[in-house]
Structure 1
Amino acid sequence: MEKDKRIIFIDMILILISLYIAMLLRFDFRVPPGYIEFFKVSVIPVMIFTIFFNMLFKLYSNIWKYASIEELLSIIFSMTATNIVFIMYGYVITHTLLKYQFFRFPLTVHIIFWLLSVISLGGVRFFFRIIEGSNIGEKAVRRKKNLLIIGAGDAAAILIKEIKNKAGLNYKIVGLIDDNEKKIGKTIHGIKILGNRDLIIQVCRTNRVDEIMLAMPSVDKVTKSEILNICKQVTKNIKTMPGIYKIADDEIAVNKMRDIDINDLLGRESIKLDSKNIDKYIKGKNILVTGGGGSIGSEIARQIAKFEPKKILILDIYENNAYDLEMEFNRNYPHIDKQVIIASVRDKARINQIFKEHRPDVVFHAAAHKHVPLMESNVGDAIKNNILGTYNVAMCANKYRVDKFVLISTDKAVNPTNIMGATKRFCELIIQAINEVSETDYVAVRFGNVLGSNGSVIPLFKKQIEKGGPVTVTHPEITRFFMTIQEAAQLVIQAGGFAEGGEIFVLDMGKPVKMVELARDLITLSGFKPDKDIKIEFIGLRPGEKLYEELLIDEAGLTTTDHNKIFVEKPKDANIEFIEEAIKEFMNVDNMSREELIKLIQEKVPTYVRNKCY
């Protein structure tokens, strides 16, 4: 409002000056006294006319930092209207009040006045645009992240050069810090070395530093730890640089200096799965996700929400994760009809009640115990949760005529050497056997380790690195297949679209990753040197653990699908009588010893070889 008043005042001054100059120019600076008198009685009315038409053409409501040709046209229209009314005013005032016609201005004065007023009013507004634009530019500079670089060596020089050459990086380097007293006061690519580590806090507070980058790839762990402790007092945004070996080839890049992104440790490009055949079995349907609060189950639910289901049922025994997911859905998918159900897949009566009440059209069964070492020492619970839980849900799917049932399986089900893998293999047998006698399409989806999921190796490695090591790896040669949570969820949903019944779908996950190399990469990305700053310790294979995981039982039975990264293992002969008889035996687990349970599993899963390592 104050700014509008100032512009109105400026307009009044400019109109006065423009009219007076127009009069002077018309009469060669020798204005007859009669016209001076007319000027005096005309100034106030002309100002009123101008302000009125300026308001009419919205010249005081425009944001002039965005001024363009449209605003200039508004000025022309306003001043044209002002001059027309001014001419009419001249006729009226001279004929009715002053009675002397010659006192009104000649037409040439109006033309000059029109020209000068357009130039002056337009000029001052575009001048404001220039000033506003300049202020915007200054603000943009201020909005850039103020960056302090620790280290003033070759790495810092490469880093500064890249930041200066790439304006889009949005950094303003406030200076360099280095403990070498001989460097202090000198510059690198125009950036001054301000002082040693003792000045870090002062420099950060004085310059409002947003981010600190440590360009000291070869510094020892003790020195880096001391400097990090200082930096943490002023900002949490601290990034570091990979090893010195990359500097020789000028490979240092700002995008390398970032927080750890586990997807970068995949060892291959992320697989993008298309949505073909998904709409027709998800859209408008009731979808049940068991284990819906877990890493895979919750991501399946998120992906399903994109395909407009009628309702999503999230079933989990652990209320905290399920509650968090419900709150997330309330924020991100408020239009989706959803319900969280707290229940155990072991509870046959409760599962039956849920199916009877909600009548799901599609079931994604992700509920399972998955930790290999824990299941080795808790065989009975692995059987009850994985085998009996799957049987309960699968039989209800058949009873209530579910369209599709998708089981989440694992690479550990292939030639299993542990209880977890053996129970999941029997789950595959369950869905293949029921598929033979049911109208429901039962399929399994098999994949490897999921990066970042609860209980996966990445969070463990990160915690070990945060504590200074060591990072523990079971064996120097152990390898695993890896995929992201998003890939896993999309594969599961995609497989449901391909399902005809009884198949086991497998993702082409590329080459297996060596766990020791994964550990080294994670240590490096965290800004440390493997085996020097952070030690890697080999602790030996755990009970039931393989050196190499497999994804297929019989590669000869492998066929392709419409997606070039999804393959299918054709259904095997499955016997529902065998499954039902085995389930009766498994229901007696509480009365059996651990060794008896292991023997029973070996009988029902012939491919299970206890503690065999490949």
Structure 2
Amino acid sequence: MINRVLHLRIAVVCHDSFMVWLAWMLCFLIRYSLWPESPPLVYWSTEILIVIVTQSIISFMFNMYRGLWRFASMPDLINLVKSASVGTLTIALFFFLFNRLEGIPRSVLLMYPVLLVILWGGPRITYRMWKDKYFNLRTKNIPRAVIIGAGNIADLFIRNAVSNKSCHVIFIIDDHSEFKGTQLRGVKIKSGINQLKQWVEDCHIDLVIIAEQKPSSDLIKSVVDQLAESECTIRVAPDPDDYENNLVNFNQLQPITVEDLLGRDKVELDWAEVASYIKNKSVMVTGGGGSIGSELCRQLARFGVSKLSIVDHSEYNLYAIDKELSESDLVVNSHLCDVTNHSHLFHIFKLAKPDVVFHAAAYKHVPLLESHACEGFLNNVMGTKNVADCCAEFAVDKMVLISTDKAVNPYSVMGATKRLAEKYCQLMNETVETEYLTVRFGNVLGSAGSVVPLFEQQIASGGPVTVTHEKIERYFMTIEEACQLILQSLVLGNENDVLVLDMGKPVKIMSLAERMIALSGKSKDIKITVSGLRSGEKLYEELHYDIETLEATRVQKISAVKHTHKQPHHLVQDILAGQKAAVKFEQDQLRKVLCKLVPEFKNHELQLLKSTQHTTEQQKS
């Protein structure tokens, strides 16, 4: 292998040296053809030897003998131009000092670099084009690909795909007018992204590559929807800035994710202010082993908090996040505790002495809590009350309650209990020094028990994928973004007690299921079944009440809820009444308490009717 490379480089040196001689001869030949009384052409002399040696040294300095002709490209051509230009200047300077350029016409020095670049570059480009054509004739066993986007990423990918024969690019699709009727590296550019489905079928395309920087979610959804019934694979080319070799390799192509379909723009946040506020503070996260809580712990670990106390009732979840964070220099204290246990929680607060508390511990599975209303009340309401009371007793600066869009006009026990938790924090805000902040948002992607992991599991097992209703919609955001905005809420001041995160546009669950199946490449095998709305489930979620007005804050994607009503002081007594019903497992009585405390709870009449009918049937039997 080494001998072969050495022989190739010797051949390149001989070729380039011969072209130097030929360029020099042609310059004199052209110059003397315009001069009737020209001297005879000298084909070899000491001067020519000096020209060849000088130009060869310059070429070596510019690494011209290291490049492979097989991959000759624009950077190589630029290198040729630099070498020829510097070589001409060096040759001219040498002969000027040696003999004042005697016998060397000025026109020769002007023509020489131009002819040399042509003689050097012509064979290289010709060889590259021949090789490309040679390999393109042998693409039967590699994927046939279409690229969407005719920019820099497409150029890099085609160059690399041809060199390693990973795929055969048939054509490029780009609707920008400046690319109409043009080619990129010999590949034709077409317009009309809406014709993608037909072209894929007609040309037997195996792979569609989206090669645009930060492709929009509309483009991704358009591609996925058109290819939903095909077996074509869809991939996204990465940003070449992420790779040292500046080439997009076939194995670097990324599958489209649900996050890509959402297309949420990344928000630049003011982390300096958050870091300044949170640094050297003792912070507690309840539910710290859950989806939201664990991500909050990860992000808090980056801000230099003095101590992080993690509270969770799940032994494994607590172990997992504790093990993950224990590798850092952060002081982490993990506590296996149920927030409904007030005495244990009081003991933990006494040990931790937190300055800031994030309360993320909650039951959130809507249908499950419909049949376990007592457990839902105790955890979501009494657990919140215990945490809020401890915050007041230990003079915590801020408590942040993680709420949900299901607390707005709740149709479920879960939503009603979260709304009641919001109300209690609002009441505490009116009576104690601790600042209570509620952050309300919709579903987060990938959280335990959410629809996206369920669909992924159903698709992996071959289906069917179950959707509860054709028209059901939900808001989505990533866990990382949600936690970033939650941390930003810390620095918005104490005039806002309820904040709402911008969730973008709601997503139709049926469309989400169809696109996830399309991305799996199993559209013909996996069916979608409509199972019907589950108990406590709404078709559409809301982020605020009609009587509430949203006002923009200085943090993008966070709005403040403005309201004038105050919470009644008998709220505490009513909550304790609900607790008595819950510990006795009196679900009907508990629902009556929830209806009194949350008048907008819309599901209660139906549930009471079902309960009454069930009781009547039992009595008859």
**TM-score normalised according to structure 2 size:** 0.61
| Aligned partner letter, 1:294 | G
Q: 2:560 matched to 1:568?
A: yes
Structure having the higher Rg? 1
Supply the distance in 2 between the matched residues of 1:353 and 1:261 (Cα, whole angstroms). 44
Supply the distance in 1 between the matched residues of 2:318 and 2:518 (Cα, whole angstroms). 35
Q: 2:362 matched to 1:364?
A: no
Structure 2 contact 548–562 (Cα < 8 Å) conserved: no
List per-residue Cα deviations over 1:93-146 (Å, max 9, x = no partner). xxxxxxxxxxxxxxxxxxxxxxxxxx9xx99xx89x999888xx9xxxxxxxxx
Percentage of pairs with the same residue = 42
Which residue of structure 1 lines up, in the alignment, with residue 323 of structure 2?
Answer: 327
Q: 2:485 matched to 1:491?
A: yes
- Structure 2, unaligned stretches of length 5 or more? 1-52, 72-137, 169-184, 188-198, 207-222, 239-252, 607-621
Supply the distance in 2 between the matched residues of 1:423 and 1:470 (Cα, whole angstroms). 33
User: Per-residue deviation at 1:455?
Assistant: 1.0
Supply the distance in 2 between the matched residues of 1:464 and 1:130 (Cα, whole angstroms). 56
List per-residue Cα deviations over 1:431-450 (Å, max 9, x = no partner). 00011111111010000010
Structure 1 stretches of 4+ moved >4 Å: 129-134, 150-155, 159-164, 167-177, 216-219, 241-248, 250-254
The 1:577–1:176 alpha-carbon spacing in structure 2 relative to 1, beyond 3 Å, is closer
| Aligned partner letter, 1:597 | L
The 1:254–1:439 alpha-carbon spacing in structure 2 relative to 1, beyond 3 Å, is closer
Supply the distance in 2 between the matched residues of 1:433 and 1:526 (Cα, whole angstroms). 49
User: Per-residue deviation at 1:419?
Assistant: 0.3
Q: 2:282 matched to 1:286?
A: yes
Q: 1:156 aligns with which of 144, 155, 161?
A: 144
Which residue of structure 2 lines up, in the alignment, with residue 438 of structure 1?
Answer: 432
Structure 1 contact 472–537 (Cα < 8 Å) conserved: yes
Q: 2:570 matched to 1:578?
A: yes
Supply the distance in 2 between the matched residues of 1:539 and 1:287 (Cα, whole angstroms). 43
Supply the distance in 2 between the matched residues of 1:341 and 1:571 (Cα, whole angstroms). 37
Structure 2 contact 374–590 (Cα < 8 Å) conserved: yes
Structure 2 contact 388–399 (Cα < 8 Å) conserved: yes
Structure 1 contact 316–367 (Cα < 8 Å) conserved: yes
Q: 2:469 matched to 1:475?
A: yes
Which residue of structure 1 lines up, in the alignment, with residue 525 of structure 2?
Answer: 533
Q: 2:375 matched to 1:381?
A: yes
The 1:271–1:608 alpha-carbon spacing in structure 2 relative to 1, beyond 3 Å, is farther
User: Per-residue deviation at 1:562?
Assistant: 0.6
Q: 2:156 matched to 1:166?
A: yes
Of stretches 255-264 and 388-397 in structure 1, the one that deviates more from structure 2 is: 255-264
User: Per-residue deviation at 1:273?
Assistant: 3.6
Q: 1:342 aligns with which of 336, 354, 357?
A: 336
The 1:324–1:442 alpha-carbon spacing in structure 2 relative to 1, beyond 3 Å, is same
Supply the distance in 1 between the matched residues of 2:139 and 2:339 (Cα, whole angstroms). 57
| Aligned partner letter, 2:502 | D
Q: 2:270 aligns with which of 260, 274, 281?
A: 274
User: Per-residue deviation at 1:558?
Assistant: 2.1
User: Per-residue deviation at 1:564?
Assistant: 3.2
Q: 2:599 matched to 1:606?
A: yes
The SS at the match of 1:327 is helix
User: Per-residue deviation at 1:577?
Assistant: 3.1
- Structure 1, unaligned stretches of length 5 or more? 1-118, 138-149, 178-188, 192-215, 225-240
The SS at the match of 1:344 is coil
The SS at the match of 2:255 is coil
Supply the distance in 2 between the matched residues of 1:428 and 1:161 (Cα, whole angstroms). 48
Q: 1:307 aligns with which of 303, 313, 333?
A: 303
Q: 1:447 aligns with which of 428, 441, 444?
A: 441
Structure 2 contact 474–507 (Cα < 8 Å) conserved: yes
Which residue of structure 1 lines up, in the alignment, with residue 543 of structure 2?
Answer: 551
Structure 2 contact 369–413 (Cα < 8 Å) conserved: yes
Which residue of structure 2 lines up, in the alignment, with residue 462 of structure 1?
Answer: 456
Supply the distance in 1 between the matched residues of 2:533 and 2:159 (Cα, whole angstroms). 45
The SS at the match of 2:237 is helix
User: Per-residue deviation at 1:410?
Assistant: 0.2
User: Per-residue deviation at 1:323?
Assistant: 1.7
Q: 2:587 matched to 1:594?
A: yes
The 1:481–1:254 alpha-carbon spacing in structure 2 relative to 1, beyond 3 Å, is closer
List per-residue Cα deviations over 1:370-399 (Å, max 9, x = no partner). 000111111110011110100000000000
List per-residue Cα deviations over 1:556-575 (Å, max 9, x = no partner). 53222112321111355444
Supply the distance in 1 between the matched residues of 2:601 and 2:449 (Cα, whole angstroms). 24
The SS at the match of 1:436 is helix
Structure 1 contact 158–252 (Cα < 8 Å) conserved: no
Supply the distance in 2 between the matched residues of 1:481 and 1:242 (Cα, whole angstroms). 20
Structure 2 contact 574–597 (Cα < 8 Å) conserved: yes
Supply the distance in 2 between the matched residues of 1:439 and 1:270 (Cα, whole angstroms). 35
The 1:428–1:242 alpha-carbon spacing in structure 2 relative to 1, beyond 3 Å, is closer
The SS at the match of 1:559 is strand
List per-residue Cα deviations over 1:346-378 (Å, max 9, x = no partner). 110011011111100000000000000111111
User: Per-residue deviation at 1:576?
Assistant: 6.4
User: Per-residue deviation at 1:151?
Assistant: 9.7
**TM-score normalised according to structure 1 size:** 0.61
List per-residue Cα deviations over 1:513-547 (Å, max 9, x = no partner). 11111111211222233xx4321111111111111
Which residue of structure 2 lines up, in the alignment, with residue 400 of structure 1?
Answer: 394
Q: 1:515 aligns with which of 497, 505, 509?
A: 509
The 1:396–1:252 alpha-carbon spacing in structure 2 relative to 1, beyond 3 Å, is closer
List per-residue Cα deviations over 1:129-169 (Å, max 9, x = no partner). 999888xx9xxxxxxxxxxxx99699814369989832498
Count of residue pairs the alignment pairs up: 428
The SS at the match of 2:526 is coil
What RMSD, in angstroms, separates the aligned Cα atoms of the two structures? 4.2
Supply the distance in 1 between the matched residues of 2:165 and 2:451 (Cα, whole angstroms). 39
Structure 1 contact 276–497 (Cα < 8 Å) conserved: no
The SS at the match of 2:329 is coil
| Aligned partner letter, 2:303 | F
The SS at the match of 2:146 is helix
Supply the distance in 2 between the matched residues of 1:169 and 1:319 (Cα, whole angstroms). 52
| Aligned partner letter, 1:320 | Y
User: Per-residue deviation at 1:270?
Assistant: 4.0
Supply the distance in 1 between the matched residues of 2:65 and 2:560 (Cα, whole angstroms). 66
